[in-house]
């Protein structure tokens, strides 16, 4: 379970923590866009998978809205994006394409795994920011609702039926948690 990070003392520390939050969230949305692009590329090429490709493109659109907003916030608040962006972009596309190549259920399991981690991550940030930056907390709440809808759709579409579901989701979630920690700092 994610717990909120207590605010550090002093204005500079609060600004540094906000920079971490924005940097990691921008990186996460960048990765989400590329996961869905990878999945959609595979599904578009597979006969009979147009419905799933359309779902993936729609979810990618939601993530692109989030990414655009975080790009604006980084600029407005003078925060640099993570230096890991090129790596995350490539890794995310590969994760999306790779899980889609394993089949519909594995692609959905990937979505569920990622969105579960992100939902908890956002929940901790919302709790941390609700008094310090209520406007940002409200935006994160809206984004979190989109992530929950993606997760729920993935479950409805059979994520739990994927081959090696427990292992697949555990590995993806561990990777997401590691990427979060790295992106906060680098």
Q: Are 63 and 92 in contact (CB under 8 A)?
A: no
Q: Is 115 annotated as a binding residue?
A: yes
Residues 6+ away with beta carbon under 8 Å from 40: 53, 56, 57, 60, 96, 100
CB 113 within 8 A of CB 173: yes
> Among residues 43, 173, 53, which one has the least CA distance to residue 103?
43
Residue 63 annotated as part of some ligand binding site: yes
Residue 160 annotated in ligand binding: no
The DSSP output letter for 9 is S
Identify whether the C-beta of residue 184 lies closer than 8 Å to the C-beta of residue 20: yes
Was 184 annotated as part of a binding site?
A: no
Is 157 assigned to a binding site? no
Does 112 appear as a known binding residue?
A: no
CA atoms within 13 A on the CB side of 156: 8
Q: Which residues participate in the annotated binding site?
A: 29, 63, 66, 115, 147, 150
Annotated binding site for Fe cation: 29, 63, 66, 115, 147, 150
């Amino acid at each position: 379970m994610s717990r909120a990070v207590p605010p550090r003392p002093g204005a500079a520390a609060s600004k540094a923590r906000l920079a971490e939050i924005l940097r990691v969230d921008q990186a996460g949305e960048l990765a989400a866009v590329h996961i869905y692009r990878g999945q959609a590329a595979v599904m578009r090429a597979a006969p009979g998978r147009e419905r799933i490709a359309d779902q993936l493109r729609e979810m990618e659109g939601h993530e692109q809205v989030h990414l655009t907003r975080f790009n604006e916030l980084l600029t407005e608040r003078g925060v640099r994006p993570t230096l890991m962006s090129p790596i995350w972009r490539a890794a995310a596309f590969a994760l999306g394409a790779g899980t889609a190549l394993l089949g519909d259920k594995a692609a959905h399991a990937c979505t569920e795994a990622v969105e579960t981690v992100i939902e908890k991550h956002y929940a901790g940030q919302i709790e941390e920011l609700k008094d310090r930056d209520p406007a940002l907390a409200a935006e994160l709440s809206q984004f979190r609702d989109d992530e929950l809808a993606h997760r729920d759709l993935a479950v409805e579409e059979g994520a739990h039926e994927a081959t090696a579901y427990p292992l697949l989701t555990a590995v993806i979630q561990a990777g997401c948690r590691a990427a979060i920690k790295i992106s906060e700092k680098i």
